[in-house]
Structures are given as structure tokens and as C-alpha cells.
Structure 1
Amino acid sequence: MSTPTAGTPSRIPISPIASEEEREQALRDYKVTIEYKHLKSHAPGGVYLIPAIENLRNFFGIIFIRRGPYTNGIFKFQLKLPPKYNDANTWPQITFSSYVYSPYVDEATGALDIKSAYANWDPSRHYLVTVLTYLKKIFYSKNFADAKANVTAKELAEKDPEAFRKKIDSCVRESQKNMYTNDEDSTAKFTEEQVSHRVLRDLLKHHIRNESQVTKQAVLAQIDKARKV
């Protein structure tokens, strides 16, 4: 998985006359930027996270499910960090904007139950990649013994697996249907394919048949052709 580089937070400057509290907060903020940069090479496959434009501690994310019961699901979420994140027991918060039927997700709020998995959040061992790995894991879990967020879903999975699977199928279809419904402030938005996009894809397939032909000039030439459609 590769996390988009656009919007990567830069180093937080610390004023020489800042108070001790301001210095501590600036250090926390800097640690957040380091964690985000770390995601580029360590985040789980199929998970994409992009920071908000105006808020260092607010991220918009998408997970694409490639196998298992939630196959082809496209689930959007927000990840928020408390102001003192990087202190002990300052858990990240993940809330799905897409409907997710899972024993690990509160059906009413869309909140992922992180505290049950990590009763004590230890900043020396737990990071953004930790919680994103857990987020991915819930879509592939076969045993819900530790789930607490949606007891009804947990009981249904135990007593009537077929009905549980139908609920999952329904939420997958809903995620696909609402793929182009974007939160107003989201930095991770889907746009419907335009005719020019389809033409460009076909042109690229026809004129650029192997990696050795992929040059900036070749791609720009095909983009120029697509614009004229």
C-alpha cells in the first residue's frame, strides 16, 4: 500500500520564546508528522489515509476490501487524534462514514471499538499504523469473541451465520452505491469517471504497451488527445 504524499504535514516550528506547554504540544505535533510519513511504507495494503487541509490531527481514509466476506467493499472513515496524542492512553478515534455491519463497529455512530483491542494505549508501542492494521483486521476476522461494539451483530454471527452474511453483503453493496457521496471537507474524494477519462485510459492502453514506453512526454501527448474529445 502506498499512502498519498500530497498534503504530508511538514515539520512544526517551535518558537524560542514558547512556553513549556507550547513546546510539548509542538513536539507532539511533530511526532504526528513522523508517524504519517512512516505510513508511506508501512501502512496495510488497501488502506489510504490523507490529512485534512486545516487540521493536523484529522485524517480522511478509505479501505478497499479485496477478499473475505466484505470483498469489494469500499469503506470511508475519519481518523481523529486527541490534542495530547502521543501521551499514554490517548487513543486515536476512527469513525466510519460508510455503513459497516460488524461486531466491532457501533451501528448507530460508526465508531470502531479501539479500546477493547488496546485497553492501554502505549505511545512507545502503538502508532497510527497500529490502529490502521486493526481497522483492516476486523474485515477479515472469523471469531468475534472479543467484540463489544455491536452485540446484536455478534449474536447473529454466532446463531445464524447465513443471515449475518446477508447483512454483510448488504453493507458492501451500500458502500459501492455511495462511493461517490463525499463528505464536504474530505480530502479523500471520489469523482465519477468522465468520457475523457475513459478515452485517456483507452489511448494509454493502445499507445503505451510496456513500461519502457512510459515517459512524461508520452503520457502528456495522450492527455492532450483525450482533452480534445
Structure 2
Amino acid sequence: MNEKLYLFKKEHFQRHGSMRKVIPADSGKENLFEGHKSEEIETIYKVYRQEYVILAEYKMVQNENIFGVYVIPSHESSLMWFGVIFVRRGFYEDGVFRFNILLDESFPDSSHPVGNFQEVNRHPLMYFSLQKVIFQSKIFHPVINSKTGELNLLGAFPEWNKSEQHLWQVLKYVQWIFYEIESCIDHAVNSEAAEMWQTDRDSFKSEAVACVKASHDRLYDAPPTDDPHHICFEPYSPAVHDHVRSSMLEEGRRAVGGMEGGAKRGLSWVLAGSGKSLTRPPTPHSEGES
């Protein structure tokens, strides 16, 4: 496995906290309503369970606070999520790329076969992902299909295990591919982009800049759907946005002010002169905190 991809997965794919309060344990029984034969009850249970799991997945995404990446489930179906990534640096700096996440109808219980990206290139219909990430604008990138806009997830998720993998990890990967292009080459699905990256970096940069420009040109396009949750943008209007901007800036100043005491102490839970963790007393609340 590519070393940087391995380190990425080790760093970003770790479970944060217990899942027991978020997703109910799986008893291993296909029908938890033991003694009931009604297919209708089984169907209702599966629908409610799926909605609960997807809601829990979305809550985990919010808790991760993935920098520059924003998603929201569709109003019409929780199996489709609308997303956008703001790229802050690198070859795609200032890009604003919309994407959709499509979940399988049996999510999270379905699984995909162990995939090989070379085989995917030769026989694309033989492989499928538990979920798909499809960019809505053309992006010249080694791991994004130039025809369909689909991100190749098999490099990061050769197998999908619902107890170990979650959608926030997929979004981390969406973020990662724009900053670690070299590490994507081993599982490229766009051979032209991969070859250009390796042999003609200036031309690759020109292609990436063109993608960024195209994303700006289409930023205010009318949405392709009437779904009210589709992520839309509109030009800045002082009458509409000034008060929101002021409120956000004020909240940011309060947050920074509340951290000043901790910053001076290094935000450490190790008592000075001690090698034992969790020995420093908590920072007292400021007068403005409840």
C-alpha cells in the first residue's frame, strides 16, 4: 500500500469515541421482531433503522468538522447527499467543487467485493461501491473518472465494513485527494491525468487551474434539481448578508477570547514538571461563560 495513503488511513480513519450511543448494536438476526411473520413489519423496521443509521452518520460528519467540506442529505431521499469542497491550497487552490454522495439502497448492510483498480479500468461493470462520490463538474484528477466524474474509492476502501468505515471517512478522502496528488497515482483511473502529473507538471497545473476557473464560472448556475437542500450560491448582497457576516465575526471573536487562557498554558493536560497525563486541573471558566 502507498505509504502516504497508509498514513492517511491510520491518521484519519480512527474511530472517535464510542459508537454504542450512536448506532444500535446488530444482534445478528435478520428479523429482530422474533415471532412475527409480517413482511410489512420487517420492511418498516428496515426503513426506520436505515434512517436512524444515516442520521447517526451525518451527526458523526458534523462532529468531525472536516475543513472546507460541507454536506447535507437530500430533502427527497436520505440516500443522496449534496456536498461541496472548498480547496484552500495546492494545484486546485480556490476551487469550489460540488459533488453528490449516492448510498446503496441496502446501506449500511450491503458490501462490495474486494476491488482492484486496474481491473476496474478494464471491466468497470464488474465492480461497484457501497457508496459513490460523483463530482458535478469536470475535474482533471488521477482518481476521478474523466467521463462520469466518479471518484475511485477502492484505493482507500478496498473492502467496506460497516463497523469500521463511515461516511465521514469518505469525506476525509474527498478532501485528501486534492492535497496529496502524488499518493493517488497508484490507484489512478484517469491515466492521462496520472501520466501528465508524472511527466509534465506544468501542463497538469494548467489543467487544474482550468478546473478551478470552470468551478467559478458555474458557481451561480441554476440548480439542476428543485430539491431545497441542493447547495446553491448567490452573489454577496449587503442587505441580505451583512448582518449574518457580522454575527459570524462576533462569534469568532468570542471563541478566540475564550481560548486565550488555555493558549497561554499550552492547552495541555500534563502538569508542569510531571510526566503523568491528566494531572493539570481544568482551566477555570471565564466570567462570560456559563
**TM-score in terms of structure 1 length:** 0.76
**2:74 alignment partner, one of 52, 67, 73:** 52
Match of 2:202 in 1: 162
Structure 2 Cα separation of the partners of residues 180 and 140 of structure 1 = 25
Write out aligned runs for 1:1-229 (5 A).
18-87=40-109, 88-89=111-112, 91-143=130-182, 144-181=184-221, 182-186=223-227, 187=229, 188-197=231-240, 200=243, 211=254
What are the ranges of 5 or more consecutive residues in structure 2 without an aligned counterpart?
Answer: 1-32, 113-128, 256-290
The amino acid that maps onto 2:220 is Y
For residue 201 of structure 1, report the CA deviation from its aligned partner: 7.4
Structure 2 Cα separation of the partners of residues 204 and 21 of structure 1 = 45
The amino acid that maps onto 1:127 is H
Match of 1:222 in 2: none
Distance 1:162-1:29 versus aligned 2 partners, 3 A rule: same
Structure 1 Cα separation of the partners of residues 157 and 194 of structure 2 = 19
The amino acid that maps onto 2:138 is Y
The amino acid that maps onto 1:69 is F
Distance 1:149-1:19 versus aligned 2 partners, 3 A rule: same
What are the ranges of 5 or more consecutive residues in structure 1 without an aligned counterpart?
Answer: 1-14, 213-229
The answer on whether the counterparts of 1:43 and 1:129 sit within 8 Å (CA) in structure 2 is no
The amino acid that maps onto 2:224 is D
Secondary structure of the residue aligned to 1:63 is: strand
Structure 2 Cα separation of the partners of residues 204 and 128 of structure 1 = 31
Distance 1:196-1:134 versus aligned 2 partners, 3 A rule: same
Structure 1 Cα separation of the partners of residues 68 and 246 of structure 2 = 27
- Higher mean alpha-carbon deviation, 21-30 vs 98-107, is at 21-30
State percent identity of aligned pairs: 27
For residue 99 of structure 1, report the CA deviation from its aligned partner: 2.1
Structure 1 Cα separation of the partners of residues 42 and 167 of structure 2 = 26
Distance 1:25-1:200 versus aligned 2 partners, 3 A rule: closer
For residue 204 of structure 1, report the CA deviation from its aligned partner: 7.5
CA RMSD of aligned residues (A): 3.0
Match of 1:215 in 2: none
For residue 197 of structure 1, report the CA deviation from its aligned partner: 3.7
Secondary structure of the residue aligned to 2:156 is: coil
The answer on whether the counterparts of 2:142 and 2:190 sit within 8 Å (CA) in structure 1 is yes
Secondary structure of the residue aligned to 1:95 is: strand
Secondary structure of the residue aligned to 2:204 is: helix
For residue 191 of structure 1, report the CA deviation from its aligned partner: 1.4
Provide Cα deviations, 1:176-219, integer angstroms capped at 9, x if missing partner. 121112332352111122352466579879x99x659xxxxxxx
Secondary structure of the residue aligned to 2:194 is: helix
Q: Give the length in aligned residue pairs.
A: 199
Higher-Rg member (1/2)? 2
Structure 2 Cα separation of the partners of residues 204 and 19 of structure 1 = 48
For residue 21 of structure 1, report the CA deviation from its aligned partner: 4.3
Structure 2 Cα separation of the partners of residues 154 and 199 of structure 1 = 44
The answer on whether the counterparts of 2:142 and 2:185 sit within 8 Å (CA) in structure 1 is no
